[in-house]
Chains A and B, each alone.
Chain A
Amino acid sequence: MPCQIPDFDELDRRLIDAYQRDLPLCERPFAAMAERLGASEAQVVERLQSLQQRAVLSRVGPVFDHARAGASLLAAVAVPDAERDAVAAAINRSPGVNHNYAREHDYNLWFVMTAADVMQLEARLEALEEELGQPLLRLPMVEGYHIDLGFPIPWAELEAP
């Protein structure tokens, strides 16, 4: 199956390759990035806005260490396929949900819920369980070995037929 890749020109790619981490911490970060990439500050800002509008960019900013930032939990629920979209919508409406995926398994909906602390997280999980009428698989993290550092984009592979 060919990959459908929207148009990303050289500047888009270099921005994504160079700045998934180490955004310059200064008053005009986009000017500093532009200088390194041989572009103008206005170009960089415009590209970032465009990538964000096209939903390629979730945001420009920090990724917090979730263990230090507050409480979070991976949870899963098994629902009939016919009800999957409706249950996913209910999960999405729950406060604190930041990821929600359908996966190939009896446990077919997987989501991450976050909160300021464990008590708030527990209250949110209980409220969602009550709404869904069934228990959630609760899978707290015990130890992280490699978490969300950004990874290289395989541009050539994306372009291959």
Chain B
Amino acid sequence: MSLTSPHRDTHGEVDPQRLRALLEGGLPLTERPWQALAEQCGMSEAEVLAWVERWQREGLIKRMGLVVRHHALGIRANAMVVWDLPDAAVAEVGRRLAAEPAVTLCYRRRRCSPEWPYNLFCMIHGTRRERVLAVLGDIIERQELQDIPHRVLFSLKAYKQCGGRYTREDQP
């Protein structure tokens, strides 16, 4: 591939969108993965590494590593627990739940009343349903959430699980 093919701006900087689109699909599993990506987007290996380092520093990339499908590993009791918290309390409870080791994800979402009054979501992954429920019961007791309406939605089936695609490239 020619190194003149990517769009470079007046400062000679490469448009990194192609690299971002490639990265969303993951690294090629070869000895020089960054070099392989560099060849596909018309950058040098050093330029690719510099962009990735910058995106990590700026927080666009939150983590870099093995993205595991937990269901395939046998972690199949995946509970989404949703809570209807007073708006004034949701951030504080959210932070407390996020600090629980068993809670793997925790975020506030906009309610969609009346169908959906819940504004705090957290995930608890485990190997078995009864263990997940026991852990949840313990959290409710220790965090004094007995009076907060909540629902537990275990997953029944994963129809799709892959990384987010945000760039316009490689998409209809």
Task: Tell me whether A and B are bound partners.
Answer: yes
The chain A residues found within 8 Å of chain B, CB to CB, are: 1, 3-6, 8, 15-16, 19-23, 25-31, 41, 45, 48-49, 51-52, 54-66, 68-72, 74, 76, 88-89, 91-92, 95-105, 107-112, 114-116, 120, 137-151, 153-154, 157-158
The listed residue (A15, A19, A139) touching B110 by CB distance below 8 A is A139
**Chain A: interface secondary structure?**
mixed
State whether A154 touches B127 (Cβ < 8 A): yes
Considering the complex, give the chain A residue whose CB is closest to the CB of B129: A1
Q: How far does the Cβ of A141 sit from chain B's closest Cβ, in whole Å?
A: 5
Contact A140 B154 (CB under 8 A): no
Select which of B98, B106, B112, B163 is within 8 A of A61 by beta carbon: B163
Number of B interface residues at 8 Å Cβ cutoff, please give it.
80
Asked whether A64 lies within 8 Å of B164 as measured between CB atoms, the reply is yes
Within the complex, the shortest CB–CB distance from B168 to chain A, in Å, comes to 5
Measured CB to CB, the residues of B under 8 A from A are 23-27, 29-35, 45, 49, 52-53, 55-56, 58-69, 72-76, 78, 80, 91, 94-95, 97-99, 103-110, 112, 115-116, 119, 121, 125-128, 131, 151, 153-168, 171-172
Asked whether A91 lies within 8 Å of B106 as measured between CB atoms, the reply is: no
A98–B171 Cα distance when bound, in Å, is 13
CB <8 Å contact, A45 and B159: no
Pairs A–B under 8 Å by Cβ, sample size 5: A19-B65, A58-B163, A139-B110, A150-B65, A158-B127
